């Protein structure tokens, strides 16, 4: 079963101000990575049709950070967690 992207490469490229299509495959891999992290962090099953805008924005922010800082991460991770915190499910 193919994983559906929560946000598109075009949405990420718009957010990151990327004009070229040369790195679309890499951007799609970063989107999958970010949405896997978002799902793991929140405990939610993410669906493109019902995904809240805050989670979509968190994914975009995380992808932008991964794209800009390929050797390591900086500020984007804190923003990613702040946007996702309200959606976390408690495990007792």
The structural domains of the chain, with segments of one domain joined by +, span 9-87
Q: Which residues lie below 8 Å from residue 6, measured CB to CB, with a gap of 6+?
A: 31, 35, 38, 46, 48, 51, 55, 56, 59
Q: How many CA atoms lie within 13 A of 81 on its CB side?
A: 4
pLDDT per residue rounded down to tens, the chain (92 residues): 567 899 999 999 999 899 999 989 999 999 999 999 999 989 999 999 999 999 999 999 999 988 888 766 565 577 777 778 888 876 54
> What's the pTM?
0.78
């Amino acid at each position: 079963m193919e994983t559906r992207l929560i946000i598109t490469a075009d949405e990420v490229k718009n957010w990151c101000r990327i004009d070229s299509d040369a790195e679309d495959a890499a951007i799609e891999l970063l989107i999958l990575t970010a949405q896997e992290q978002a799902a793991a962090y929140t405990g939610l099953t993410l669906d493109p049709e019902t995904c809240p805008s805050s989670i979509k924005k968190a994914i975009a922010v995380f992808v932008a950070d991964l794209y800009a800082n390929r050797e390591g991460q900086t500020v984007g991770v804190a923003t990613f967690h702040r946007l996702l915190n309200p959606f976390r499910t408690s495990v007792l």
